[in-house]
Amino acid sequence: MNGAESLVRSFVGAGVDVCFANPGTSEMHLVQAIDAVPEMRAVLTLFEGVCTGAADGYARMRGVPALTLLHLGPGLANGIANLHNARRAATPLINVVGNHALYHIDYDAPLTSDIDTLARNVSSWIKSDSTAATLASDGMAALQASLTARAGSAGQIASLIVPVDACWSDAQGVASPLAPPAPPAVGADRVQAIAAQLDGDSVIVLDGAGLSPEAQVDAARAGHVSGARVVFSTFPARTDGGPGSPRIDKLPYFPEHVLASLAGVKRMVLAGAATPVSFFAYPDMPGELVPEGCAVHTLAAGDEDVAKALADLADALDAPSVGYAVHEIGSQNPGTGRLTTRSVAACLAMRMPEGSVFCGDSGGGGAAFAPTQQAGSNTWLNLTGGSIGQGGPAAVGAAVACPDRQVFALLGDGASMYTIQALWTQAREKLDVITVIFSNRTYGILETEYRRLGVNEVGDRAAALFDLSRPDLDFSSLAQGMGVNGVRTDTVEAFDKALTDALEAGGPHLIEALV
Amino acid sequence: MNGAESLVRSFVGAGVDVCFANPGTSEMHLVQAIDAVPEMRAVLTLFEGVCTGAADGYARMRGVPALTLLHLGPGLANGIANLHNARRAATPLINVVGNHALYHIDYDAPLTSDIDTLARNVSSWIKSDSTAATLASDGMAALQASLTARAGSAGQIASLIVPVDACWSDAQGVASPLAPPAPPAVGADRVQAIAAQLDGDSVIVLDGAGLSPEAQVDAARAGHVSGARVVFSTFPARTDGGPGSPRIDKLPYFPEHVLASLAGVKRMVLAGAATPVSFFAYPDMPGELVPEGCAVHTLAAGDEDVAKALADLADALDAPSVGYAVHEIGSQNPGTGRLTTRSVAACLAMRMPEGSVFCGDSGGGGAAFAPTQQAGSNTWLNLTGGSIGQGGPAAVGAAVACPDRQVFALLGDGASMYTIQALWTQAREKLDVITVIFSNRTYGILETEYRRLGVNEVGDRAAALFDLSRPDLDFSSLAQGMGVNGVRTDTVEAFDKALTDALEAGGPHLIEALV
């Protein structure tokens, strides 16, 4: 058995059996190993940003990391934008990046570059000097690291940069998985101190492991009995919700809206969340979005046992297990005629099957969050790192992870184009992904931000840098070019028909919604 | 005038007046500055890899750097693959990367990351702590650095990572350009020593500044009078050729072919080139591709005055200015019926207008190199760093740089999909780019490399990782989705008609050639 096969067999033995791949010459032995180990499912993508975003979506749904298989520095570089999002989501993820043999590096062949520097931008664990003898155990160390909570994270990105001679040389067999350390429990003193202060002027902010359904319930119990409000951070990696689940809002996006939403709060309790901060710096706007005079208490940091701390908090407050506000089933009224972001959201809520997964990106998708909570059980995977082009790839990963659930990718037209290649993998793997493009022919957020500079009239040359018309993107042609059925709609009736047709047919579909 | 405007005005004053842009919120003041300075042409792309590849193509054609305008770490990351190619091409190029205000970094907002580490992978010059007072002069230092030859390069990548408060704060006005230092001349002793040894067992390898038309002629003169052979390196950044220009071949790609091509060579003379090395490491294959017993002499390194050294060498040999072998005008016979890579190449050579520019990527495009030399004056921009997805973006940049020349992007189907978004910018800017997709529905090089492992029967699961069918990509739909006329062809007659139609119509076109 060579090093490549020892690595693949070790991963499979440890339950890591999906690999999102865009290999090159230096990964041919790994491809050969994948060929020899049928338990490893390899999913080909046409662009590495799809690999990394899919691995992120997969792990958010499964809790188990997927592998990416990438080709030297440029292959890793193409995946970094979505690795950035995965890092912010605290997703466990393992990059396997092929490299030259180390003895070949000094020749400075064309594809040579300092891969470690690229990996460092997104990875908490890097190893780049494996030999065939160590490769399997290095893989298991990468897995352990990916599942180890660190400050501010429930999981992390491990990058195993593999010299090709470690793949082709003889190995010593498979390695066994290593158990990740359990996150430390929060002491009773800290929980008690927070319980004693929690009141109607308090807010509990959830993120990371504080987002799980059980943790949401415990937070809602604590909030209900104490009068404290419970919120999600602005971009929670994953939320599960629907009728019967706690009614919890997300913090808004713009800093002035966050501050308005928190006005009057005297105590902020962080459960797996960081202190809210402004997404960007603006003149005359604070970075930290904490009302004046508000004390910030950390109930549990991202590397602590957040869920248990919330359960302990609820217990410390003798909170009953019922009585907190929950999402009620609501009816949706998408209206008729001209399509709007709101009517698309209503149609989605009206038609979504139970258990649907929504992968949001930028654009109008977020408008569907609230309506879907009233419609059926749902999971949302949000854009965590601000790097657009996540939604389509994340939908690929979610659909591979959960083939029995309907997946929706809700994408802005601009955002979708960074990783439009995701459609091809959806077609190849026959994934139940419905992509909705909120097509307003502009980078809408940029026009908004530009006006926030105090500009009232946007000059032609600036406007051209936000404008996505000239030429209009035709998403149904793009979809068909990659083997996905695509439809353009501009009325509620047409959108609703396209949606019901897509759901009935199954498999991948794209619906462009002119909003 | 704020910092952003001081920077843009300084660049324009220094002759840097094209910016390939994919901005975000942190770049809004730079957009505002571009709006205020009409001499700066901003070209919007839908993906940063198009920005960087276009800037590379532009500078290879003009010798003047273009700017890229990128959005924090993820925006730069998306551009790195083509920056890697630009670095290998020794292209002068300036990245302007927006960043948070430095005082905002510690808040660790979602888009925060260590941008410097990413920039380091590709940049020879980095600055990330500008203030409004220094921004204009920092821009001029970046320009000077980009035009400064360093070891192994004629130009380099400069990355100016701009804190947003340096953009919005008051500046002190524009800064003046700084002259780059001239590359040092090679001493007469070295030239004489090489001239004394040059003979029929010698080979002169050209790259970098040794590729210019004048340098080619001087190398050919020296080769002719001494009996030495003259070759280009395997992936020369830019070659200008055509009937009447010196007949110079490129070194082949696979290491065994390079060694076979150099068999019997006793003296290798490097002119702007590095010692040939194997693109990848293979078991039982040397890394350095120099025949046993062959001495290697550096006539001029990449950071020396290569062109003058070649002229001096020719003079030292009293080489006549004529008599060396040149490309003759040849006739092309594309044949009829089923399309092949060879017949596509023949059609291109037969129909190309004088002065055409060819941007090659992987795939079959290289087959057109030899025929076009017999057809008309031409410029080839090659894939220098092995990171596929360069050709389409480079064609954008070449067409922006040289609007009076016909540009061809010759792309493999797999390679094209990394940066397919280039088509949209071609449509928006109405560029005279004809994209030819050599569509064989496979990552052909990988299947070849896989078989080189000694594998005779490719397993289904390995084959699936090379295979681009299931579903077939429909490139005419993809092109039409981005506003470019697209045609699929599978016969010589159909391809030739599509090509002549496209040339007659002008503007961007895509022709898928099923080969």
pLDDT (tens digit per residue) in B110-135: 999 999 999 999 999 999 999 999 99
Same domain? For B346 and B292 the reply is no
The pLDDT, as a whole number, for residue B244 is: 98
User: Which range among A42-56, B217-231, B297-311, B457-471 shows the weakest confidence by mean pLDDT?
Assistant: B457-471
Q: Is A170 on the interface with B (CB under 8 A)?
A: no
The pLDDT-based confidence of B84 (bands split at 50, 70, 90) is: very high
B99 domain residue, yes or no: yes
In sequence order, the 6+-apart residues with CB closer than 8 A to the CB of A257 are none
At A79, phi and psi to the nearest 5?
-95, -5
Q: Give percent of chain A above pLDDT 90.
A: 93
Q: Which of A168, A196, A214 is the last residue of a domain?
A: A168
A414 domain residue, yes or no: yes
The pLDDT, as a whole number, for residue A394 is: 98
What is the rounded distance in angstroms from the CA atom of residue A355 to the CA atom of residue A372? 11
What's chain B's average pLDDT? 96
- Cβ separation A110–B120 shorter than 8 A: no
Q: Which of A253, A281, A316 is the last residue of a domain?
A: A316
Same domain? For B348 and B288 the reply is no
Residues of B in contact with A68 (CB under 8 A): none
The pLDDT, as a whole number, for residue A150 is: 72
| Number of A–B residue contacts, CB under 8 Å | 286
Is residue A127's pLDDT more than 90?
Answer: yes
Indicate left, alpha or beta for A72 from its phi (over 0: left) and psi (-120 to 50: alpha).
left
Give A23: exposed, middle or buried? Use CB within 10 Å, 0-12, 13-18, 19+.
Answer: buried
Tell me the residue type at A430.
K
Q: Which residue of B has its CA nearest to A413?
A: B46
Q: What is the CATH number of the domain that holds B37?
A: 3.40.50.970
In sequence order, the 6+-apart residues with CB closer than 8 A to the CB of B43 are B18, B19, B20, B21, B54, B396, B400, B425, B429
Min Cα distance B396 → chain A (Å) is 16
Count of domains for chain B: 3
The tens digit of pLDDT for each residue in A180-214 reads 999 999 999 999 999 999 999 999 999 999 999 99
The pLDDT, as a whole number, for residue B462 is: 93
The tens digit of pLDDT for each residue in B332-383 reads 999 999 999 999 999 999 999 999 999 988 767 789 999 999 999 999 999 9
Is residue B152's pLDDT more than 60?
Answer: no
A218 domain residue, yes or no: yes
Tokens (6 digits) for A423:
């459609």
The pLDDT, as a whole number, for residue B381 is: 97
The pLDDT-based confidence of A31 (bands split at 50, 70, 90) is: very high
Same domain? For A495 and A413 the reply is yes
Q: Is B428 on the interface with A (CB under 8 A)?
A: yes
A206 domain residue, yes or no: yes
The pLDDT, as a whole number, for residue B360 is: 87
The pLDDT, as a whole number, for residue B307 is: 96
Same domain? For B463 and B375 the reply is yes
What's chain A's average pLDDT? 96
- Cβ separation A461–B42 shorter than 8 A: yes
- The answer to whether B125 and B142 have CB atoms below 8 angstroms apart is yes
Sheet with A93-99: list strands edge to edge: A41-44, A18-21, A67-71, A93-99, A157-163, A125-127
Same domain? For B160 and B198 the reply is no
A301 domain residue, yes or no: yes
A104 domain residue, yes or no: yes
Q: Which residue of B has its CA nearest to A21?
A: B465
Tokens 């030999």 belong to residue: A131
Is residue A389's pLDDT more than 80?
Answer: yes
- The answer to whether A110 and B235 have CB atoms below 8 angstroms apart is yes
Q: Is A503 on the interface with B (CB under 8 A)?
A: no
Q: Which helix (H) or strand (E) holds B136?
A: helix B135-146
Q: Which residue of A has its CA nearest to B109?
A: A279
Interface test with A, best of B50, B168, B289, B387 (most A CBs within 10 A): B387
- Cβ separation A473–B461 shorter than 8 A: no
What is the rounded distance in angstroms from the CA atom of residue A102 to the CA atom of residue A117? 16
Sheet with B267-271: list strands edge to edge: B249-250, B229-232, B202-206, B267-271, B295-300
Q: Which of B259, B283, B316 is the last residue of a domain?
A: B316
The pLDDT, as a whole number, for residue A320 is: 97
Is residue A348's pLDDT more than 90?
Answer: yes
The pLDDT, as a whole number, for residue A155 is: 83
The reported pTM is 0.98
Angle at A435 between CA A434 and CA A440, to 5 degrees: 145
Same domain? For B153 and B279 the reply is no
A323 domain residue, yes or no: no
In terms of DSSP bridges, do strands A407-412 and A433-439 run parallel, antiparallel, or are they unpaired?
parallel
Pick from B108, B120, B461: CB nearest A117: B120
The pLDDT-based confidence of B151 (bands split at 50, 70, 90) is: low
The pLDDT, as a whole number, for residue B363 is: 67
User: Which range among A108-112, A364-368, B73-77, B192-196 shows the weakest confidence by mean pLDDT?
Assistant: A364-368
User: Which range among B145-154, B291-300, B442-451 shows the weakest confidence by mean pLDDT?
Assistant: B145-154
Q: Which domain holds residue B97?
A: 3-168
The pLDDT-based confidence of A342 (bands split at 50, 70, 90) is: very high
The pLDDT, as a whole number, for residue B153 is: 62
Same domain? For B134 and B219 the reply is no
Q: Which residue of A has its CA nearest to B413?
A: A46
- Cβ separation A462–B34 shorter than 8 A: yes
Q: Is B186 on the interface with A (CB under 8 A)?
A: no
User: Which range among A370-384, A462-476, B439-453 shows the weakest confidence by mean pLDDT?
Assistant: B439-453
Q: Is B344 on the interface with A (CB under 8 A)?
A: no
Q: Is A285 on the interface with B (CB under 8 A)?
A: no
Q: Give percent of chain B above pLDDT 90.
A: 93
The tens digit of pLDDT for each residue in B279-301 reads 999 988 999 999 999 999 999 99
Same domain? For B129 and B242 the reply is no
The pLDDT, as a whole number, for residue A289 is: 97
The pLDDT-based confidence of A510 (bands split at 50, 70, 90) is: very high
Q: Please name the residues between 313 and 342 in chain B that touch chain A, using a CB distance below 8 Å.
A: none
Same domain? For B302 and B348 the reply is no
Secondary structure class of B150 (helix, strand, coil): strand
- The answer to whether B310 and B300 have CB atoms below 8 angstroms apart is yes
Give B285: exposed, middle or buried? Use CB within 10 Å, 0-12, 13-18, 19+.
Answer: middle
Q: Is B31 on the interface with A (CB under 8 A)?
A: yes
- The answer to whether B191 and B316 have CB atoms below 8 angstroms apart is yes
Is residue B79's pLDDT more than 60?
Answer: yes
Is residue A171's pLDDT more than 70?
Answer: yes
- Cβ separation B465–A26 shorter than 8 A: no
Mean pLDDT of B84-95: 96
Tokens (6 digits) for B111:
């888009």
ipTM exceeding cut-off 0.95 for this assembly: yes
Same domain? For A110 and A207 the reply is no
- Cβ separation A73–B88 shorter than 8 A: no
At B99, phi and psi to the nearest 5?
-140, 165
Q: What is the CATH number of the domain that holds B264?
A: 3.40.50.1220
Tokens (6 digits) for A337:
């005629």
Helices A213-226, A306-316: axis angle to 10 degrees equals 30
Tokens (6 digits) for A296:
């910030």
Same domain? For B374 and B294 the reply is no
B137 domain residue, yes or no: yes
Same domain? For B258 and B356 the reply is no
Is residue A363's pLDDT more than 90?
Answer: no
Mean pLDDT of A252-275: 97
Q: Name the residue with higher pLDDT: A453 or A30.
A: A30
In terms of DSSP bridges, do strands A202-206 and B267-271 run parallel, antiparallel, or are they unpaired?
unpaired
